[in-house]
Amino acid sequence: MKCLCLVAFLAIVITQSYNDLGVEAASGDGFVSRKGVQFILDGKPFYANGFNAYWLTYEATDPATRFNITYAFQNATSRGLTVARTWGFRDGGYRALQTAPGRYDELTFQGLDFAIAEAKRLGIKMIITFVNNYSDFGGRKQYVEWAKSQGQVANSEDDFYTNPLVKQFFKNHVKTMVDRVNTFTKIAYKDEPTIMAWELMNEPQCKADPSGKTLTAWIGEMATYVKSLDSKHLLSTGLEGFYGDSSPQRKASLNPVAANVLGTDFIANHFFDAIDFASIHSYPDLWFPNLNETSRLEFLRKWLEGHMEDAQNILKKPLILGEFGKPSNTPGYTLAQRDAVFNATFDTIYASAEKGGPIAGALFWHLISGGMTNFEDPLSIVLSDNTSSVNIIGQQSRKLGLIGGRGKLSHKIKI
């Protein structure tokens, strides 16, 4: 308890130092860009070995719990992790970011400001997602409800992609985000190199149109809009990676059967010039609950390899595994099984990276700090626990860092 109080005190001191002195990037890194199928940072290949931490803004809204962000980032950098993926939304509800269309809670926005400033201070890049496919934290459903409250006729959440007012709500949110000036760093988000990329949505789906055409049209429109406001940052979709009608063989061989009605199309959804890199997720335990461990690991490798081939040969863009993990509530679960999933994932990625291939890294779901019991779930990982899985994560960071010519990763901490 004394340790946590000390860290909380340091977080408050850090906040004050931001206000008094401003923030200087610890690593001096510039914007992440892409060249062909590789990410580039400061003239060298950049690999995104990292983590998801969807809770950053929520916890940072209260200055008393900002130490959780500091502690998580410090543990991440000590293991060479380079990228954090987090939500740039909380639509309605408790501690909402967007309380109503175009209306924002300043304290919550300052929470996101703090998370970005801490990432900057500690040398972590961020991928920030604009909206959720699911109703958790508002998502598409909340946008449609807002439109209905203003007299719009909407039949389902999938009207999010076609209703003109809903689309304008989303565009307004995008503009608010990219134009936001960080209250700690005094830098507009669109000018902040700590932000590596934006994602249009977390796991977009459109069951109303299984052909994928509705979602593809929406991605094309919104990707062009984002780039018209912010040409400095990379952009991706946030897709899970399910194939559609443009890839019938892949759809038949790789998609879980249930995915064929979700209205996504990995190739078509990523084919736009405004989309800079491809996104996939991987959860074989959830998609194939009746398969044994060996079969799920075999699927994992094929899933990665198939998307790597298509990113290289068709899309000609980098690829990031934006979410993956091993749920501890899987029947018969052991830590060795989680280790096997992480090893299979990382080995496949390293083999590609070593040859200059397109897959640039993986972000496990999800990182929490010790003591954050309200965010614990079957997929959460605490890096300070020093489990075998944590050691595997650190080893992958070191290996990718050597390929990228960055050697041992270290960051100065300035307070």
| Catalytic residue IDs | 203, 323
Rounded Cα–Cα distance for residues 354 and 376 (Å): 35
Asked if 205 contacts 260 with a C-beta cutoff of 8 angstroms, the reply is no
Asked if 15 contacts 70 with a C-beta cutoff of 8 angstroms, the reply is no
Residue 309 burial by CB count (10 A; 0-12/13-18/19+): exposed, middle or buried? Answer: middle
Six-digit token string for 151: 């007299």
Residue at token pair 């293991």: 79
Dump the DSSP string for 275-334: --SEEEEE-HHHH-TTS-HHHHHHHHHHHHHHHHHHIIIII-S-EEEEEE---TTSTT--
Q: Measure Cα distances from 165 to 112, 143, 147, 190 in Å.
A: 26, 9, 7, 25
- Kindly give the pairing relationship between strand 195-199 and strand 125-129: parallel
Six-digit token string for 94: 């408790």
